[in-house]
């Protein structure tokens, strides 16, 4: 694979996002998860008069996005930070109200593909890092080597929805007593040994759920999402929308519940009664879109 290919990220449901997010063709929009700027570019190209504020907590992603958005630099402002502090980040550039916010959750393909980031269970000798934000002091190495067996088991069960969580935690603690667990390859071997062979035959890669749990833990992804949605709601103008793409049930549950709560409080109407999923054509081209669910909500005036 060339470097160029490794840095590509295929955006999920770009057409649907562009159609459903924008209600004001001269408005200001926030892409809270800018990544490689695929969605951002689509929005800027579809609506030549909008302004776009791109947020990402990953400095490398922002640098890549800056290049990809170079031809629209006069209509874009990029900000490094966690979207859970969105009101503060926007205030720092003098923005108090916006016309729409997009969340395309999780990690990007470039993050997964870069071995040294340690996100992937397929990269054998990668360091156990998994931070989206290099300034975050918590790494997967720290959690795996320092947290109690109980905390590790709870995290793997809760955020990985892994039925063998207790055994995996037990094997991790036993193994780190001999030597620290430094690489993704070591961790994959430990997980393999912990899951009985009969159970390993189904459910995809045995380490998938544990890696998901660790990634969520390192980046406090669910706490950030919860805060981020509330912050987006605060800065959102009347008749404006939030669009959120979730990639697993834990994320989607948070989005769904928050949108429903606002609806029940008569503050919002749901634009998507049921989540949208990728078309068959998109599924063929982009396997990452398989688990994606897009929900859109609109803030009512008043
Ligand atoms: C799936 S990618 C976005 C891809 C982008 N929509 C595109 O089309 O190219 C998610 C991005 O959001 C960023 N991210 C995830 N959680 C974040 C958070 N809490 N605050 C800021 N950025 C976050 C990640 O670093 C990653 O670059």
Q: Where are the chain's structural domains?
A: 3-110+221-299, 137-218
190 falls in which pLDDT band (50, 70, 90)?
very high
Give the span between the Cα atoms of 182 and 106, in whole angstroms: 23
Superfamily of segment(s) 137-218: Putative methyltransferase TM0872, insert domain (1.10.150.170)
Q: Say what the pLDDT of residue 23 is.
A: 97
Q: Say how many Å lie between the CA of residue 228 and the centre of ligand 1.
A: 12
* Contact yes or no for 52/29 (Cβ under 8 A): yes
Ligand 1 nearest-atom number relative to CA 133: 25
Does 4 have pLDDT greater than 50?
no
3-110+221-299: what fold? Rossmann fold (3.40.50)
Angle at 186 between CA 180 and CA 187, to 5 degrees: 90
Q: Say what the pLDDT of residue 287 is.
A: 83
Angle at 24 between CA 18 and CA 26, to 5 degrees: 100
Give the span between the Cα atoms of 105 and 221, in whole angstroms: 9
> Average pLDDT of 68-77?
97
Does 197 have pLDDT greater than 90?
no
> Average pLDDT of 183-204?
89
Q: Say how many Å lie between the CA of residue 259 and the centre of ligand 1.
A: 20
Quote the tokens at residue 219. 């980046």
Q: Say what the pLDDT of residue 123 is.
A: 78
Residues framing ligand 1 (Cβ under 6 A): 9, 11, 33, 35-39, 55-58, 61, 82-84, 104, 106-108, 132, 224, 228
Does 2 have pLDDT greater than 80?
no
Does 240 have pLDDT greater than 50?
yes
> Average pLDDT of 196-212?
86
User: What are the Cα distances from residue 82, in Å, to 103, 117, 276?
Assistant: 12, 18, 26
Ligand 1 nearest-atom number relative to CA 11: 8
Does 92 have pLDDT greater than 60?
yes
Of all protein residues, the one whose alpha carbon is nearest to atom 15 of ligand 1 is 106
Which stretch of DSSP H or E encloses residue 199? helix 197-200
Q: Say what the pLDDT of residue 1 is.
A: 33
> Average pLDDT of 130-138?
96
| Residues β-bridged to residue 103 | 244
Q: Say how many Å lie between the CA of residue 105 and the centre of ligand 1.
A: 6
- Cβ atoms < 10 Å from Cβ of 67: 10
> Average pLDDT of 6-16?
82
Would you say the CATH fold of 137-218 matches that of 3-110+221-299? Answer: no
């Amino acid at each position: 694979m060339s470097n160029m290919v490794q840095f590509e990220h295929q955006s999920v449901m770009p057409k649907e996002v562009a159609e459903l997010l924008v209600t004001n063709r001269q408005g200001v929009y926030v892409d809270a998860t800018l990544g490689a700027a695929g969605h951002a570019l689509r929005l800027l190209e579809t609506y030549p008069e909008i302004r776009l504020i791109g947020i990402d907590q990953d400095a490398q992603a922002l640098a890549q996005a800056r290049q990809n958005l170079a031809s629209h630099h006069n209509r874009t402002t990029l900000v490094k930070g966690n979207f859970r502090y969105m009101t503060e980040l926007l205030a720092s550039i003098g923005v108090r109200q916006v016309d729409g916010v997009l969340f395309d959750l999780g990690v990007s393909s470039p993050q997964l593909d870069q071995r040294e980031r340690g996100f992937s269970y397929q990269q054998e000798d990668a360091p156990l890092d998994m931070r989206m934000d290099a300034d975050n002091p918590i790494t997967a190495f720290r959690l795996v080597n320092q947290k109690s067996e109980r905390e590790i088991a709870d995290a793997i069960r809760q955020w990985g929805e892994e039925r063998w969580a207790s055994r995996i935690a037990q094997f991790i603690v036993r193994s780190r007593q001999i030597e620290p667990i430094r690489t993704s390859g070591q961790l994959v071997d430990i997980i393999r040994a912990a899951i009985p062979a009969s159970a390993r035959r189904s459910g995809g890669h045995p380490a998938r759920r544990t890696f998901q749990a660790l990634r969520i833990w390192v980046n406090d992804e669910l706490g950030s999402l919860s805060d981020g949605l509330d912050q987006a709601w605060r800065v959102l103008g009347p008749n404006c929308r939030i669009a959120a793409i979730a990639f697993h049930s834990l994320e989607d549950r948070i989005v769904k519940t928050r949108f429903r709560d606002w609806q029940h409080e008569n503050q919002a109407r749901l634009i998507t009664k049921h989540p949208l999923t990728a078309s068959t054509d998109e599924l063929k081209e982009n396997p990452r879109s398989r688990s994606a669910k897009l929900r859109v909500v609109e803030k009512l005036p008043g």
